[in-house]
Amino acid sequence: MRESIPISEIFGPTVQGEGPLVGRPTVFVRTGGCDYRCAWCDTLYAVLPEHRSEWMLMTPAEIARRIDELAGNDPVLVTLSGGNPALQPLAPLIELGHAKEHKFAMETQGSVSSPWFKELDWLILSPKPPSSHMTTDWDALDACVTVGRRGLHRVLKIIVFDDADYHYARTVSTRYPALPVYLQVGNPAPLKHVGRRLPDEAEIDDLLARFRWLVGMVTADRWFAATVLPQLHVLAWGNRRGV
Amino acid sequence: MRESIPISEIFGPTVQGEGPLVGRPTVFVRTGGCDYRCAWCDTLYAVLPEHRSEWMLMTPAEIARRIDELAGNDPVLVTLSGGNPALQPLAPLIELGHAKEHKFAMETQGSVSSPWFKELDWLILSPKPPSSHMTTDWDALDACVTVGRRGLHRVLKIIVFDDADYHYARTVSTRYPALPVYLQVGNPAPLKHVGRRLPDEAEIDDLLARFRWLVGMVTADRWFAATVLPQLHVLAWGNRRGV
């Protein structure tokens, strides 16, 4: 029997709000459990063990059925997120999904690598910058980057709140020059509401000011290979879940 | 001697706010002159003959020099826009730029095709929907789509204000199934300020509401191959020029 997977939520179709697939319709599968505790984590309900009772244990077949249901049985981009989805044995789900012509993108911090990553269509590595208060395990990240398969799109997505984060992003990018880099403006809402539910509304002006700042950093540095994006879903739907 | 080109403005580096290269640092080269008069055109200063006196006639070498200056002599993505840049003989500029390792993306409505399009790196075809009050010349658009070269990225970017525009986008996409489609929320500011300078500030709430509407249309239709984006530069900088 195939192993069940702790699922925090499955929702969509909506559009991906971040990274290389920004604007693309997708169904999100969010696994429960994480090896990180980022200072500004916006999905603690999928991270902290005290939320475990809210997670559903689902078999790959059950997850695949829910994806098909949400997508009306049409092929769709599936985004595997978390928590850290890399902790879960997701190969059977990907295999089932590929049989239905779904594509799979996984977002992970790159702290854990696994051979099944090569089954993905997109591997979006999001190592966490200093503002997260997490420490990068470079050997683990190296191992994630070298997961190989022709046709697997591997990219870096790095959240930037401040100068230190920006310099971290440059360091990561220098270490992996072959990988496209997406810089993403940080959302400070979780820092302002520690231990509480995030307000539905985002502070749009603040987020756009952060975006302008990051664009200014990148263009002043002539870092023309980087792509700078805000979190589109936060602009459009605020801090609400399920969109 | 190589032909001079009417230039409305050259600016950057800033980030591309639209389409497949959204978030990518770029220098914009905006040519003067257009065969269209879209109802909601946001760059009439590069379209209407009464602005001709503001355009500079520049040789390809002069344009290339200005790009290098703005980009600090580093290779950069150059976005050719207008007006309709397809009306201009841009092959010599592209050749000069490629020698400096710049990449070239051109945005055009697809009303005029030219063999030099194949020298581009990105051809972003943006046929205009019913709300523009323009009529699509399908033969001309066909000719643009079939401009061939391996490695030339050809995509469709279609502005959507309303249901009729949305159905037009579906029609265009059905006609050219091989081309990725980017749907872009329309900015109604020019319709509200006809014949006047646009206000600096954009109506962010309205633009985000339009984005949510368009996402809803696409997901309800299960049009999962489309990408839905707002105009990021309008969210970040409003209707200001030069960003």
Average pLDDT, chain A: 96
Is residue A141 within 8 angstroms of chain B, CB to CB? no
Q: Do A224 and B14 touch (CB under 8 A)?
A: no
DSSP string, B15-60: E--SGGGTT-EEEEEEE---S---TT-S-GGGT-GGGGGGSEEE-H
Q: How many Å lie between the alpha carbon of A185 and the closest alpha carbon of chain B?
A: 12
pLDDT of residue B196: 85
Identify which of B72, B76, B219 has the shortest CB distance to residue A25.
B219
Residue A149: pLDDT over 90: no
Identify which of A15, A76, A224 has the shortest CB distance to residue B13.
A224
Is residue B22 within 8 angstroms of chain A, CB to CB? yes
| Inter-residue contact A242 to A46 (CB < 8 Å) | no
Average pLDDT over residues A78-97: 98
Q: Do A236 and B208 touch (CB under 8 A)?
A: yes
The nearest alpha carbon in chain A to B220 belongs to A13
Cα distance between residue A164 and residue B195, in whole Å:
46
Residues of A numbered 101-140 whose beta carbons fall under 8 angstroms of chain B's beta carbons: which are they?
Answer: none
pLDDT tens sequence across A212-230: 999 999 999 999 999 999 9
Residue spans of chain B under pLDDT 50: none
**What is the share, in percent, of chain A residues with pLDDT greater than 70?**
100
Residue A196: pLDDT over 90: no
Is residue B214 within 8 angstroms of chain A, CB to CB? no
Query: Chain B contacts of A236, Cβ < 8 Å?
Result: 208, 211-212, 215, 230
The nearest alpha carbon in chain B to A204 belongs to B204
Is residue B73 within 8 angstroms of chain A, CB to CB? no
Q: Tell which of A79, A215, A240 to mutate to test the B interface (max B CBs under 10 Å).
A: A215
Sorting pLDDT into bands at 50, 70 and 90, what band is A194? confident
Average pLDDT over residues A11-19: 98
Residue A1: pLDDT over 60: no
Residue type, B13: P
pLDDT of residue B151: 85
Q: Do A15 and B228 touch (CB under 8 A)?
A: yes
Cα distance between residue A108 and residue B38, in whole Å:
44
pLDDT of residue B156: 98
Q: Do A219 and B14 touch (CB under 8 A)?
A: yes
DSSP string, chain A: -PPPEEEEEEEEEEE--SGGGTT-EEEEEEE---S---TT-S-GGGT-GGGGGGSEEE-HHHHHHHHHHHTTTS--EEEEESS-GGGS--HHHHHHHHHTT-EEEEEE-SSS--GGGGG-SEEEE-PPPGGGT----HHHHHHHHT---TT-EEEEEEEESSHHHHHHHHHHHHH-TTS-EEEEE---HHHHSTTSPPPSS--HHHHHHHHHHHHHHHHHTT-TTEEEE--HHHHHHTT-S--
Rg (CA), chain A: 17
Q: Do A219 and B23 touch (CB under 8 A)?
A: no
Residue A140: pLDDT over 90: yes
What's the whole-model pTM score? 0.96
